[in-house]
Structure 1
């Protein structure tokens, strides 16, 4: 097993994996306290045996949309029965791309409450349900943005003493083309960035001119980008502002954070 890694030197506490992109069992080789597995549809939920094996080495959280059939604590929650007892969850409202129209119409707040009764140590994803998530008092799981540092400080100043986890695509390189290929499309979907981009502009390494400038600036706002030392400085700033856990998603692939 690795005793050191790029992940640790960059100051990441946890790593997020997408099961469509990698073998999540490989996360057992990464010296981090927590592994968070993103939700990409029921067909891509890792096998329970893999989750159980991984949970023997580290804390494992699986993202589950509380409105989706199979994960709905007030309805069909059949999939939850297959999760090993040692595996916790990140409770989210759910991205519309992974939900039917019927599922999208279900109320979020009562389902988060019911899910936390079952799994009180679960994290709550704040995307699109910030106020509801805060009301639960559970660990807040927020996407990195240009306002994250200010919001963290405000929450701490207001007296919030719960855990605050920050999720950020992580790109360990100084090469602008590699950065754009890794997170250009991701940052382009953020509302302020989309509004600033020229219509029809490329969002990867083919971007030029104004679009390239906007995307590279946005990459620094919505992702952790740079050398290990530079990313380490960014994670230090987030912790100083109030974050308790920084979760990096290896946007260039899992191999980019292993040595």
Structure 2
């Protein structure tokens, strides 16, 4: 039987994404992947500089920084950026509305993204909701896995884009349907095509049945990396052949699945 560490390595992932609201991000030190991407879940959950510095001594650290948020705004308050330890790199994003004030959410994205890229040219750029702006900004394009990823990446490569493409995907290393739905059912249900296909008021976890269960399980294959280690590795290899360079797995069942 594979250990958790061996399973993660064999699955073909390059990086792990951790949410500081859910776990101590220092657990990345026990995960056999060289890169850790730390999601932004509000200023109150930002890891301390000492924690980031500790991680950066062992890993490549990518901290998600919303360019419209106070503290990371390159055209305004950038006090949090200025306080980042040396060696901590960024993932520049527009920012989820749940973590922005109304004033922050109204700030123009394009000029801030351009300014942030100028001072952090090695930053990844999150494309969610701002695909054209992100592409114009350049740098590694950081995308959510979706049912159109293969087609979109193939089109980018055919059009001559030769930059890096990184893909983020909730990851569940099991083929147990109930475990998959409990881990990613709610996540995939928020994707627009899935929400439209779901029956009204349908359960999105392991209690889902009938049409809802069918829709959710199919969507989980489109929007997440699920199944046995061999299944996940096969999907990763297929997407690499299309042109994806970096795979970032979020342990949707909890960080224990990646560290044992």
State the TM-score, normalizing by the size of structure 2.
0.97
Aligned twin of 1:126: 127
The answer for the alignment partner of 1:217 in structure 2 is: 218
- What is the Cα deviation at residue 5 of structure 1? 2.7
SS in 2 for 1:5: helix
Q: Does 1:238 align with 2:257?
A: no
1:12-91 mapped onto 2 (5 Å cutoff): 12-91=13-92
Cα distance in 2 between the residues matched to 1:35 and 1:141: 14
TM-superposed CA distance for 1:21, in Å, is 1.0
Query: Any conservation in 1 of the 2:65–2:92 contact (CA below 8 Å)?
Result: yes
How far apart are residue 258 of structure 1 and its match? 1.9
Inter-partner Cα distance in structure 2 for 1:6 and 1:244:
20
The question of whether the paired residues in 2 share the 8 Å contact of 1:71 and 1:79 is answered with: yes
Deviations 1:49-70 (A, max 9, x none): 1111111111000001100111
Structure 1 equivalent of residue 144 of structure 2:
143
SS at match of 2:41: coil
Question: How many Å separate the matches in 2 of 1:201 and 1:95?
Answer: 25
Partners in 1 of 2:179 and 2:4 — Cα distance?
27
CA deviation map 1:211-234 (0-9, x unaligned) = 000000000000000011110111
Alpha-carbon distance in 1 for matches of 2:77, 2:245: 33
In the alignment, the residues of structure 1 paired with residue 34 and residue 258 of structure 2 have an alpha-carbon distance, to the nearest angstrom, of: 15
**Aligned match of 1:248:** 249
Shift of 1:135: 0.5
- Secondary structure at 1:145's aligned position in 2? coil
Tell me the secondary structure at the aligned position of residue 90 of structure 2: strand
Q: Root-mean-square deviation (CA), in Å? A: 1.2
Instruction: Please tell me whether the aligned partners of residues 67 and 112 of structure 2 are also in contact (alpha carbons under 8 angstroms).
Output: yes
Shift of 1:29: 1.5
| Residues 3 and 31 in structure 1, CA contact (< 8 A), matched pair in contact too | no
Tell me, which stretches of 5 or more residues in structure 2 are unaligned?
none
In 2, Cα distance between equivalents of 1:64 and 1:217: 32
Q: 1:7 matched to which residue of 2?
A: 8
Q: 1:229 aligns to what?
A: 230
8 A Cα contact 1:170 1:249, kept in partner: yes
> How many equivalent pairs are there?
258
- 1:190 is matched with which residue? 191
Which 4+ runs in 1 deviate beyond 6 A? Answer: none
Q: Deviations over 1:98-157 (max 9, x none)?
A: 111111110001001111111110000000000000011110000000000111111111
- Are the equivalent residues in 1 in contact too, given 2:142–2:166 (CA < 8 A)? yes
Using the alignment, how far apart are the partners of 2:30 and 2:104 within structure 1? Answer: 36
Secondary structure at the counterpart of residue 185 of structure 1? helix
Shift of 1:6: 2.0
> Which runs of no fewer than 5 residues in structure 1 stay unpaired?
none
Query: What do the CA deviations read for 1:145-176 (whole angstroms, capped 9, x no partner)?
Result: 00001111111111100000000000011110
